[in-house]
Amino acid sequence: MGDDLFSDSGARMARREERRARLRRRRLVTLAVVLVAAAAVAGVLLATGRVPGVASGSSVVAGDDAGGGQAGAAAAPPPAAAPVSQDATASPSATPVTVASPTPSPPPLDEPTKKDPYRVYFGGDSLAGLPGELFARKGHTSGLAKVHTDYQVSSRLTNPDPVDWPAHLRAQLKATRPELGVFMIGINDPGMPMIADGQFTMYPKRAWLQEYESRADRLMKLMLRTGVKRVYWVGLPIMPEKGQTNQVKRLNVLFKHAAAKHPDVVYVDTFELLKDKKGRFDPSVRSGDGVHFTDEGAGRIVDAIWGAMKEDWRRP
């Protein structure tokens, strides 16, 4: 009797397991049919280019179909870049100016000789004074350059007083007819107001930075258009105070951007030249005011400019 009960119970359990197995098989078959059908529909849509948010031959753009976009329309353009802040004060290199595309290398210069030395114009503000004089001396001693120095104390690009540089430079170039131009300016400019597009603006506003680069670019173009074969634009050096150094870095970025627009303009970096061995401001190569140069400091700048010129006339 007990054996019969166990036998009946086992049979019932076997029948239940068989029903459950059949149910699982039906579900798997149904799921497989659905998947095959979905794959077929997707293949048709892709072949006809009618997938929502995807143009024929384009890639999927997330959210392209949002807002009622038509199927098969061209992919939406990438979002615009975030606008630049009106105050470019986030970092010394923060400027509103787009970096220029790389320019092709200019043709090499003819190597100067004592019978045919370079005619060089060396201008700028008072920082250009001692380097200009030492450069002229080097040109005379070597016999390879005749240098006209033209530094104007307290001059700047932000204001035509005391020197209207575009007008003054045009007259100097007409009188001297140089083949090469060297220019160094900017130490008097931070903190000075400017008029940009008829509006008053102050450093370091976006309009100020844009206008300042434009004025540097104008002088570069002026030299090139009057027959100067190569312009060497000399950057500003490290300064004794952190705030001054940050200002100098910003101006150097603008000078580099302007120079990069012209194959015949070479930017000469002096910022690293006048640091000490620990990478700090070196007072031993600066005059008592911490701004202008000793003979050694100016000599380093002269060597950098002369080296840049030699690279140009020795370029293969």
Domain contains 96? no
Q: Is 167 helix (H, G, I), strand (E, B) or coil?
A: helix
AA letter at 288:
G
Helix-helix angle 165-176:206-225, to 10 degrees:
10
Give the pLDDT score at 28: 52
CB-neighbour burial class of residue 35 (10 A; exposed 0-12, middle 13-18, buried 19+): exposed
Tens-digit pLDDT profile for residues 54-96: 333 333 333 333 333 333 333 334 444 333 333 444 344 444 4
- Please give the tally of structural domains in the chain: 2
Answer whether 0.85 is exceeded by the pTM.
no
The torsion angles phi and psi of 57, rounded to 5 degrees, stand at: 85, 5
Tell me: do 15 and 124 sit in the same domain.
no
299 pLDDT band, cuts 50/70/90, is very high
Residue 87 lies in a domain: no
High-pLDDT (> 90) share of the chain, %: 64
Same domain flag for 46 and 173: no
- Residue 91 counted as domain residue: no
If asked whether residues 51 and 122 sit together in one domain, one would say no
pLDDT score at 105 = 75
Distance CA 154, CA 273 (A): 24
Q: What confidence tens digit (pLDDT) does each residue in 160-212 have? A: 999 999 999 999 999 999 999 999 999 999 989 999 999 999 999 999 999 99
Task: Report yes or no on 93 lying in a domain.
Answer: no
Work out the mean pLDDT of the chain and round it to a whole number: 79
Residue 122 domain boundaries: 118-314
Q: Give the model's pLDDT for residue 193.
A: 95
